[in-house]
């Protein structure tokens, strides 16, 4: 049943060609394209008549639209064809799992949502989880096993490995090495144990470029053993973050964001929480902080030491540190300090001790066994590298990862690989590493295989396949099994046995089914460790004035793994709004001192490595600090990711993975062309984002932000007799994570356009996240504002459409009718919010776009020359309307959830029916914080905003004063 | 004065003029034919098996939902799986030559490829389940399927035709339990089969967003 599913407005005329091949050659003469016009006149009358007859025959021979087929199942597989099914599984990133629900349309996974039952998701899904669907369908994925670049068979691989294992057997596996990434899969861990029992002399190494070595080492310093903190931001009234973007990255960030904002929104009973952020590059946590201080990496440690001193009764020079210390002391038991991976191990140990001292342990922070194990990635990779250098590595199996690209700059992994007689690279896509290995083995995507994983708090999930492997992939478990003595069963049996033992009784089967259905293994969260931190003597080195380099994962590409994902390449980085690029981020003052502007190029020299990078001036960046995003500059990522941006890994060393001081920086000639989606960051008195402090927000109870009736209008009022859909976006909760934009892109079949087209302002995102600065450019407050279509009551677009392609429907949605649109673009010209997007170049057929199978069959694919925009996920409203009308009832509040709303980790978006005065959206509209964008234009939007409410410390700033 | 155009050029111009007129006519006919789609009102498209609705529905009286089993739950009515066909034909006409493709499909696991008779453009989202739930009989759009040896289209399926009913659905609706009765709606209604469901908003039915999205 392929035919009815895939909607493609572009698949119209032009498909039925090819019937009259005999005359086609001569017709081509009429084109006049190749042979100029002269050739056309060579046509004789006889030829002309023949052609006319042929053309007439073409018309009368019953030329019809394309003949569509219906291909039913042989045996039925789904309850009802055409109705999507959802499967629970989990995605692992950096060793930690996040529960997801995968929407499958007739067996094709098309959309990923969060799993409400999973503690790391609670129903939300971040950028990476949602974009994973595009990874699955990536046409650049490995399609088969290769031996030195030549196609090989699975039998050949198995034979080669078997012979190797036979040979290694007598030596107990000496020379056999496995290089893994962080993994929390109990099944894989058991397999590796079995392997080490068979080959006791073999070694397993781990390399994760975005490793957590510092925090684990810090725990070892503080507790004498490895432990991982699990934060409960819902219990924290005061949070102090040292370079820790707890809402934007790392395991559990979706949950952290949810907990933090739940606590922040709870204004009635207690004052909201307060966040102090000290950081060396702008992050999402910094943007939502009540107080933010940009500090160079060296100064961060000093600030922490000052804080520790102030908490002991000493004093702090830095006024913000002193204020934070006082605030922490007055909230004992309800406060937490968090440190990021870039802080040195001693800093982490100090933080553990301070949290213990402040009574945060057991409340806002708990400790568990590290879910990925007690691993020092840096040492592990260095040990492997020195053995490879010494020539003692005979067989190397690289299970995922791309160490040739992402190993630290001082580990020459590519050269070392040449010394390994047999190397096997097992990965989703051919990459830099596979080119340097003997064998490359395609890995299955996580939607294609059986496995298991643990979340940030230890909760286990079963990873179940949603689709059969698209390209002969081999799962990690099957790969390791090739090195083991042959065992029976399938990977499913192995995973099942891991959780249920060998039991195949009915009760066991029921438990297994429940695990798969819920996506969570019940009661599997890690047990809390009772730990007391030792005293730490932390004396950070003095900081001299020098350039510091800061290495950060790219917000979109992670460690480079997602470089071939067009959705992620084109998502604007939250702070810089750059797409398809990375840059050396400089503060405005540093740029002035170097004499550079955004787009100029600088040369950075540090140690033996040297790099030329384009500059982007980023307000809020600390002075003398250059932030470089890792994960760009891939050379063998695929057709989307090759050559995008520059590679910063060579500058990164094993000893200083996150920051480095003492770089030489100078301006060099040449200019770089960036593509950004927002050139202007000032609000210019128009206040698209309204920001209040808590006392002012309290005062709004008497006088709401918008308490006057809307101005008069000449247009007649619309009358509604049914639902009135509306949306409210809470700007306090928005953390600028872009999850909504990717969710919308996946749900609504929105194409990417590429860097050049973005430069022309032609990006297609239906919901964008605007970023504004308030205050000085050195230390601004950053505000985010998601902007979908406002669905105006007095819509300026509707009155200018000459063909009635954009009209008001009976439920108040301003709908765009693609089949009527002729592409005048008048509507877009007249839209004051600039939310309409025009498809200039048939972007849906661009290289790198997902295939038809990956598209949402419920949404039309728009062709070139058509305007499109947000329609409040009309397909979801329609589905709910049809389902409820079949039951003869109205749609209940909460039954329609838009894609952006479902994805939002902080529940910033409320959507529903205004005709029901008890609906969540009606209540939100009654809030005194509610306001509409560009109200003076009297467009009367259905989408409104809640002003951003911050809770700054009155001792630091008098309430109401701007700046930060 | 010398001739501006040579006789040859004049001839070519005339020919070009004629060619233009002919091409225009051909184009119009082609476009019209194109949008007619397969299975015009008079003829039925060929199918891999000459499946007779007349025999199965009219003579045997099999309920529509035996084969089109998702018609009440999904936008798509459902085309029976090979398994469904074989639930009878493993016992009946087991050696009929006509049924060879079905048996082959069952044996090889390769599905049958039917030709679609009722095709809508890809930007139209029709939903069977809601029409059935609201008492629109099968016969309203598909005609007397019980009298068709091979299914053919009886309605134009053009937007004007859809809107005819969406503007004034009442005469086209019947009691929900009688949807699958192969009698014209007027007859069913006269015999007491008046609709027992209601249309919440007739204005909604003519919104563009009801079918296009």
pLDDT for A31 equals: 34
Calpha distance A327→B153 (Å, rounded): 76
- Give the tokens for residue A385: 């590298």
Q: Identify whether the C-beta of residue A913 lies closer than 8 Å to the C-beta of residue A724.
A: yes
Nearest-CA distance A842 → chain B (Å): 16
Query: Distances in Å between the alpha carbon of A731 and those of A287, A575, A908?
Result: 12, 16, 7
DSSP at A390: H
Other CB atoms within a 10 A radius of the CB of residue A299 amount to 21
- Give the tokens for residue A516: 């798969």
Other CB atoms within a 10 A radius of the CB of residue B141 amount to 19
**A67:B115 CB<8 A:** yes
Residue A105: its H or E element? strand A96-105
Helix (H, G, I), strand (E, B) or coil at B164: helix
**B119:A65 CB<8 A:** yes
pLDDT for A286 equals: 95
Model pLDDT for residues B45-54, shown as the tens digit of each residue: 889 999 999 9
pLDDT for A81 equals: 86
DSSP A182-218: ----HHHHHHHHHHHHH-TT-EEEE--TT--HHHHHH
Pairing between β-strand A806-808 and β-strand A451-454 as defined by DSSP bridges? unpaired
DSSP H stretches of helix in chain B: 7-36, 53, 64-67, 82-89, 100-108, 128-133, 138-142, 159-167, 185-190, 202-205
**B106:A62 CB<8 A:** no
Cross-strand pairs, A915: none
Q: Which residue on chain B is closest to A882 by alpha carbon?
A: B130
Q: Identify whether the C-beta of residue A872 lies closer than 8 Å to the C-beta of residue A725.
A: yes
Calpha distance B126→B111 (Å, rounded): 25
Nearest to A490 by CA among A499, A503, A477, A502: A477
Q: Which residue is listed with tokens 């407005």?
A: A9
Q: Which residue is listed with tokens 């998702």?
A: B70
Q: Identify whether the C-beta of residue B39 lies closer than 8 Å to the C-beta of residue A70.
A: no
**A76:B113 CB<8 A:** no
**B34:A73 CB<8 A:** no
Other CB atoms within a 10 A radius of the CB of residue A592 amount to 13
Nearest to A341 by CA among A300, A309, A380: A300
Look at A708 and B162; give whichever has higher pLDDT: B162
3-state secondary structure A22-87: HHHHHHHHHCCCCCCCHHHHHCCHHHHHHHHHHHHHHHHCCCCCCCCEECCCCCCCCCCCCCCEEE
Q: Which residue on chain B is closest to A7 by alpha carbon?
A: B122
Q: A151, exposed or middle or buried, with CB in 10 Å at 0-12, 13-18, 19+?
A: exposed
Calpha distance B178→A794 (Å, rounded): 44
- Give the tokens for residue A447: 């939607």
Pairing between β-strand A108-114 and β-strand A96-105 as defined by DSSP bridges? antiparallel
Average pLDDT for B161-184: 94
Is the torsion defined by CA of A780, A781, A787, A793 positive or negative? negative
Measured in degrees and rounded to the nearest 5, phi and psi for residue A943 equal: -90, 125
Calpha distance A603→A619 (Å, rounded): 21
What is Dmax (Cα atoms) for chain B?
91
Pick among A38, A70, A84 to test the B interface (most B CBs inside 10 A) = A70
Nearest to B180 by CA among B57, B6, B88: B57
Q: Contacts of residue B133 in chain A, CB cutoff 8 Å? A: 885-886
Name A766's Cβ contacts closer than 8 Å, sequence gap at least 6.
A744, A745, A748, A750, A788, A789, A835, A837, A868, A869, A870
DSSP at A851: P
∠ at Cα A824 (A821, A827), nearest 5°? 85
- Give the tokens for residue A804: 């009635």
Q: Contacts of residue B109 in chain A, CB cutoff 8 Å? A: 74
Nearest-CA distance A336 → chain B (Å): 48
Calpha distance A209→A647 (Å, rounded): 13
**A48:B73 CB<8 A:** no
Q: B7, exposed or middle or buried, with CB in 10 Å at 0-12, 13-18, 19+?
A: exposed
Calpha distance B17→B11 (Å, rounded): 10
∠ at Cα A17 (A15, A19), nearest 5°? 140
Calpha distance B122→B141 (Å, rounded): 19
**B209:A815 CB<8 A:** yes
Phi-psi sector, A665: left (phi>0), alpha (psi -120 to 50), beta:
beta
**B122:A9 CB<8 A:** yes
Mean pLDDT, contiguous 10-residue spans, chain A (964 residues): 39 34 33 36 59 58 69 83 93 96 93 96 96 94 94 94 90 93 96 94 95 96 95 95 95 96 82 94 96 94 95 90 95 95 95 94 94 94 95 94 93 94 95 95 96 96 95 94 87 93 84 95 94 89 86 94 95 96 95 95 92 95 95 94 94 92 92 92 87 89 85 89 95 96 96 95 96 91 96 95 95 95 96 96 84 92 94 96 94 96 97 96 95 93 95 73 41
Helix (H, G, I), strand (E, B) or coil at A265: helix
Calpha distance A285→A231 (Å, rounded): 15
**B33:A859 CB<8 A:** no
Q: Contacts of residue B203 in chain A, CB cutoff 8 Å? A: 721, 810
Q: Which residue on chain B is closest to A875 by alpha carbon?
A: B213
Q: How confident is the model at residue B37 (pLDDT cuts 50, 70, 90)?
A: low
pLDDT for A24 equals: 34
Pick among B25, B42, B66, B122 to test the A interface (most A CBs inside 10 A) = B122
Nearest to A628 by CA among A618, A613, A617, A610: A613
- Give the tokens for residue A873: 């996920």
Residue A549: its H or E element? strand A547-553
Answer yes or no: is pLDDT of B42 > 80. no
Q: Contacts of residue A48 in chain B, CB cutoff 8 Å? A: 15, 19
Phi-psi sector, A664: left (phi>0), alpha (psi -120 to 50), beta:
beta
- Interface confidence: ipTM more than 0.90: no
Q: Identify whether the C-beta of residue B76 lies closer than 8 Å to the C-beta of residue B67.
A: no
pLDDT for A11 equals: 38
Q: Which residue on chain A is closest to B20 by alpha carbon?
A: A52
**B113:A886 CB<8 A:** no
Q: How far apart are the first and last CA of chain A?
A: 59
The model's pTM is 0.90
From A782-786, B34-38, B170-174, the region with the lowest mean pLDDT: B34-38
Nearest to B37 by CA among A67, A9, A3, A1: A67
Half-sphere CA count of A379, side-chain side, radius 13 A = 8
DSSP H stretches of helix in A693-825: 694-699, 739-747, 755-759
**A72:B114 CB<8 A:** yes
DSSP at A447: T
Residue A665: its H or E element? strand A659-671
pLDDT for A778 equals: 87
Nearest to A869 by CA among A940, A946, A924, A792: A792
Name A815's Cβ contacts closer than 8 Å, sequence gap at least 6.
A806, A807, A808, A809, A871, A874, B207, B208, B209, B212, B213
Nearest-CA distance A905 → chain B (Å): 27
Pairing between β-strand A659-671 and β-strand A547-553 as defined by DSSP bridges? antiparallel
Is the torsion defined by CA of B91, B97, B98, B99 positive or negative? positive
Calpha distance A813→A872 (Å, rounded): 8
Instruction: Round the CA-based radius of gyration of chain A to a whole number and report it.
Output: 30
pLDDT for A608 equals: 83
DSSP A860-883: PBP-TT-EE---S-HHHHHHHHHH
Rounded-to-10 torsion of CA A856, A857, A858, A862: 80
């Amino acid at each position: 049943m392929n035919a009815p599913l895939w909607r493609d407005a572009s698949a119209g005329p032009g498909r039925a060609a090819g019937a009259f091949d005999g005359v086609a050659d001569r017709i081509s003469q009429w084109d006049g394209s190749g042979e100029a016009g002269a050739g056309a006149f060579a046509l004789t009358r006889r030829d002309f008549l023949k052609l006319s007859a042929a053309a007439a025959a073409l018309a009368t021979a019953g030329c019809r639209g394309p003949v569509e087929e219906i291909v039913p199942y042989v045996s039925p597989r789904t309850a009802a064809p055409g109705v999507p099914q959802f499967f629970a599984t989990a995605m692992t990133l950096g060793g930690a799992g996040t529960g997801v629900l995968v929407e499958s349309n007739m067996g094709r996974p098309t959309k990923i949502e969060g799993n409400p039952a999973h503690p790391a998701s609670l129903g939300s899904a971040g950028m990476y989880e949602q974009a994973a669907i595009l990874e699955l369908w990536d046409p650049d994925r490995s399609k088969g096993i290769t031996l030195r670049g030549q196609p090989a068979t699975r039998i050949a691989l198995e034979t080669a490995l078997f012979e190797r294992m036979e040979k290694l057997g007598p030596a107990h596996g000496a020379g056999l090495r496995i290089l893994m990434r962080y993994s929390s899969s109990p099944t894989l861990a058991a397999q590796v144990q079995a392997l080490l029992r068979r080959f006791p002399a073999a070694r397993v190494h781990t390399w994760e470029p975005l490793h957590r070595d510092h925090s684990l080492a810090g725990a070892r310093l503080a507790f004498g053993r490895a432990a991982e903190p699990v934060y409960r931001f819902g219990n924290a009234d005061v949070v102090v973050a040292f370079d820790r973007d707890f809402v934007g990255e790392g395991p559990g960030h979706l949950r952290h964001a949810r907990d933090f904002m739940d606590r922040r929104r709870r204004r009635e009973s207690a004052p909201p929480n307060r966040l102090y952020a000290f950081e060396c590059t702008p992050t999402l946590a910094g943007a939502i902080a009540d107080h933010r201080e940009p500090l160079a990496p060296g100064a961060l440690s000093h600030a922490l030491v000052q804080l520790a001193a102030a908490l002991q009764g000493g004093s702090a020079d830095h006024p913000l540190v002193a204020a934070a210390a006082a605030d922490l002391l007055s909230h004992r038991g309800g406060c937490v300090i968090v440190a990021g991976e870039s802080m040195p191990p001693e800093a982490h140990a100090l933080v553990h001790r301070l949290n213990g001292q402040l009574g945060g342990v057991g409340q806002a922070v708990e400790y568990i066994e590290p879910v990925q194990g007690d691993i020092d990635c840096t040492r592990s990779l260095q040990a492997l590298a020195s053995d490879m250098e010494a020539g003692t590595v005979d067989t190397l199996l690289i299970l995922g990862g791309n160490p040739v690209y992402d190993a630290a700059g001082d580990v020459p992994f590519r050269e070392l690989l040449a010394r390994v007689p047999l190397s096997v690279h097992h990965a989703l896509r051919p990459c830099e590493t596979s080119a340097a290995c003997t064998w490359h083995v395609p890995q299955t995507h996580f939607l294609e295989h059986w496995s298991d994983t643990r979340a940030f708090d230890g909760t286990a999930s079963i990873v179940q396949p949603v689709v059969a492997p698209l390209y002969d992939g081999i799962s990690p478990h099957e790969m390791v099994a090739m090195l083991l003595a042959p065992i029976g069963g399938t990977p499913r049996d192995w995973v099942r046995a891991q959780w249920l033992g060998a039991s195949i009784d009915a009760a066991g089967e029921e438990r297994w089914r429940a695990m798969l259905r819920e996506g969570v293994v019940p009661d599997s969260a890690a047990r809390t460790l009772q730990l007391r931190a030792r005293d730490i003597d932390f004396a950070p080195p003095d900081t001299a004035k020098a350039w510091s380099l800061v290495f950060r994962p790219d917000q979109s590409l992670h460690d480079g793994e997602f470089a071939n994902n067009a959705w992620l390449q084109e998502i604007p980085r939250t702070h810089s709004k750059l797409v398809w690029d990375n840059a050396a981020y400089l503060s405005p003052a540093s740029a002035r001192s170097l004499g550079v502007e955004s787009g100029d190029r600088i040369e950075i020299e540090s140690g033996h490595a040297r790099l030329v990078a384009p500059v982007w001036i980023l307000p809020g960046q600390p002075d003398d600090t250059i932030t470089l995003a890792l994960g760009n500059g891939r050379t063998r990522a695929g057709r989307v990711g090759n050559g995008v941006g520059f590679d910063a890994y060579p500058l990164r060393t094993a000893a200083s993975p996150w920051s480095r001081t003492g770089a030489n920086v100078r301006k060099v000639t040449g200019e770089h062309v960036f593509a950004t989606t927002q050139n202007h960051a000032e609000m210019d008195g128009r206040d698209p984002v309204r920001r209040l402090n808590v006392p002012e927000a309290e005062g709004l109870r008497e006088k709401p932000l918008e308490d006057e009736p809307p101005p008069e209008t000449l247009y007649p009022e619309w009358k509604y007799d049914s639902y009135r859909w509306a949306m409210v976006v809470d700007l306090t909760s928005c953390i600028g994570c872009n999850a909504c934009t990717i969710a919308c892109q996946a749900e609504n079949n929105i194409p990417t356009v590429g860097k050049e087209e973005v430069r022309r302002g032609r990006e297609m995102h239906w919901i964008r996240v605007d970023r504004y600065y308030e205050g000085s450019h050195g230390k601004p407050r950053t505000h985010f504002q998601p902007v979908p279509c406002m669905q105006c009551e007095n819509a300026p677009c509707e009155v200018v459409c000459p063909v009635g392609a954009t009209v008001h429907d009976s439920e108040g949605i301003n709908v765009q009718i693609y089949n009527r649109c002729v592409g005048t673009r008048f509507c877009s010209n007249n839209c004051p919010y600039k939310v309409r997007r025009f498809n200039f170049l048939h972007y849906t057929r661009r290289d790198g776009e997902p295939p038809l199978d990956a598209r949402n069959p419920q949404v039309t694919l728009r062709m070139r020359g058509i305007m499109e925009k947000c329609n409040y996920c009309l397909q979801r409203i329609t589905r709910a309307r049809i389902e409820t009308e079949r039951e003869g009832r109205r749609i209940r509040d909460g039954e329609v959830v838009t894609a952006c709303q479902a994805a939002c980790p902080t529940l910033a978006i409320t959507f529903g029916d205004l005709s029901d005065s008890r609906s969540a959206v009606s209540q939100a509209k009654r809030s005194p914080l509610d306001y509409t964008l560009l109200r003076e234009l009297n467009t009367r939007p259905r989408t409104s905003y809640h002003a951003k409410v911050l809770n700054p410390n009155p001792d630091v700033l008098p309430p109401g004063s701007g700046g930060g | 004065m010398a001739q501006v155009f040579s006789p040859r050029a004049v001839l070519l111009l005339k020919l070009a003029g004629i060619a233009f007129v002919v091409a225009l006519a051909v184009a119009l006919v082609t476009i019209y034919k194109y949008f007619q789609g397969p299975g015009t009102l008079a003829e039925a498209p060929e199918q891999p098996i000459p499946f007779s609705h007349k025999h199965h529905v009219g003579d045997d009286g099999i309920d529509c939902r035996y084969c089109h089993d998702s018609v009440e739950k999904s936008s798509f009515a459902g085309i029976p799986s090979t398994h469904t066909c074989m639930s009878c034909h493993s016992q009946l006409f087991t050696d009929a030559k006509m049924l060879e493709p079905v048996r082959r499909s069952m044996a090889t696991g390769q599905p049958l490829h039917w030709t679609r008779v009722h095709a809508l453009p890809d930007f139209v989202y029709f939903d069977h389940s809601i029409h059935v739930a609201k008492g629109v009989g099968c016969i309203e759009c598909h005609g007397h399927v019980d009298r068709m040896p091979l299914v053919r289209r009886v309605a134009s399926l053009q937007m004007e035709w859809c809107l005819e009913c969406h503007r004034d659905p009442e005469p086209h609706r019947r009691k929900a339990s009688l949807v699958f009765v192969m009698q014209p709606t007027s007859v069913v209604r006269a015999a007491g089969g008046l609709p027992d469901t209601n249309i919440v908003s007739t204005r909604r039915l003519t919104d563009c967003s009801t079918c296009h999205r």
